[in-house]
Amino acid sequence: MIVVTGATGNVGRELVSILAAAGEQVTAVSRQPAQFAEGVRHSQADLNDPTSLRSALEGADALFLLVAGDDPHGILKEAADVKRVVLLSSQGAGTRPEVYRHPALFERAVRESGLDFTILRPGGFDSNAYAWAESVRTRRTAAAPFGDVGLPTIDPADIAAVAAAVLRESGHSGRTYELTGPALVTPRERAAALGAALGEPVRFVEQTREEARAQMLQVMPEPVVEGTLAILGEPTAAEQSVSPDVQRVLGRAPRTFADWAARNLPAFR
Ligand SMILES: NC(=O)c1ccc[n+]([C@@H]2O[C@H](COP(=O)([O-])OP(=O)(O)OC[C@H]3O[C@@H](n4cnc5c(N)ncnc54)[C@H](OP(=O)(O)O)[C@@H]3O)[C@@H](O)[C@H]2O)c1
């Protein structure tokens, strides 16, 4: 049985359905109640309270772990009987560990746990474009800072596909995979791709760094806002490089932002 935390998220929901379709027994974990396909067990638990995972983890062979809460050691203690743990970390744990301290802390705990582990380090998600859903629906506009700085954002469905492979196959033990999309795409190009998928232009509005900062502070702690702005505005060479790891694990190229937009149009119509 495979336990998937973050099971109602962009990555987790897709991962649960890939695993269930492959015939795996799945326990889907989130804090809020949720519905899944028949045969998928749902367990309500909070990663902030590791003991709340106990019933989800009973009889589990593998754990897909999200970075949430402050006690990775407590979580891994509860998971001591699983054979494999796959951690959804973040590219920032490698490129800016002083800012992305939580993912770095979880990575260290997983490495030191003695369990068979694989770490996934995705860059920015294509699904971050959901932040534009309302303005695209109502005004056909999309606002972001650093309109012409490209990053190789990744489709969360590709992260889920890699996670499913790594959870089910052997040969990934001890590996850290950097997960990116197939090419650099700028915010301006992402807005244009959404417009092309909709069949109507989407106007790109370039925000100042301060405007973007004020907006991000509503949903993220200050150090993470600064780190994210640095990645969006002055990415390092590592943050702009296209990784071969999706192709290596899946035997196919990662999907484009245009592909993500076409599959997720209802949110923007
Ligand atoms: N977006 C990016 O660009 C990016 C880049 C790199 C890494 N990441 C990482 O990827 C992770 C997954 O992203 P996503 O887009 O799939 O997530 P998401 O859509 O925001 O969903 C988060 C999921 O985690 C669950 N959850 C949140 N806090 C929890 C807790 N304390 N205990 C148990 N469950 C909890 C949520 O359900 P409930 O609310 O019901 O608990 C939901 O199922 C993020 O958490 C982030 O660390 C994201």
Two tokens at 157?
């469905």
* Residue-level pLDDT, tens digit, the chain, 269 residues: 999 999 999 999 999 999 999 999 999 999 999 999 999 999 999 999 999 999 999 999 999 999 999 999 999 999 999 999 999 999 999 999 999 999 999 999 999 999 999 999 999 999 999 999 999 999 999 999 999 999 999 999 999 999 999 999 999 999 999 999 999 999 999 999 999 999 999 999 999 999 999 999 999 999 989 999 999 999 999 999 999 999 999 999 999 999 999 999 999 99
CA 8 to ligand 1: nearest atom: 43
Q: Which two tokens stand for residue 186?
A: 């700028």
Strand pairing partners for 65?
Answer: 87
**18: helix, coil or strand?**
helix
Instruction: Please give the pLDDT value at position 155.
Output: 98
- The pairing of strands 62-66 and 84-88 is parallel
- What is the residue with the minimal CA distance to atom 37 of ligand 1? 30
Give the per-residue pLDDT at 26.
98
How far, in Å, CA of 26 to CA of 187, rounded? 36
pLDDT score recorded for residue 33 = 96
Q: How far apart are the first and last CA of the chain?
A: 38
The per-residue pLDDT for 203 is: 98
How far, in Å, is the centroid of ligand 1 from the Cα of 186? Answer: 24
**How do the residues of the chain divide into helix, strand and coil, expressed in percent and rounded to 5?**
45, 20, 35
pLDDT of 245 reads 98
Would the CB of 128 count as within 6 Å of ligand 1? yes
Distance CA 100, CA 88 (A): 13
Q: Which of these, 149, 144, 151, lies nearest to 208 by C-alpha position?
A: 144
99 CB under 6 A from ligand 1? no
10 lines ligand 1 (CB under 6 A): yes
Q: Buried b vs exposed e over 142-152: b needs ≥16 C-beta within 10 Å? A: bbbbbbebbbb
pLDDT digits (tens, 9 = 90+) for 192-209: 999 999 999 999 999 999
- Is the CB–ligand 1 distance for residue 179 below 6 Å? no
Tokens representing residue 27 in the block:
């326990």
Amino acid, res. 167 = L
Tokens of 12: 């987790």
pLDDT at 219: 93
Is 46 touching ligand 1 by the criterion CB < 6 Å?
Answer: yes
Sort 21 into a burial class: Cβ within 10 Å, 0-12 / 13-18 / 19+. Answer: exposed
The strand pairing partners of 114, in sequence order, are: none
Verdict on whether the full-model pTM lies above 0.85: yes
Q: Which helix (H) or strand (E) holds 169?
A: none
pLDDT of residue 138: 98
Mutate to test the pocket of ligand 1, among 27, 30, 162 (most ligand atoms within 8 A of CB): 30
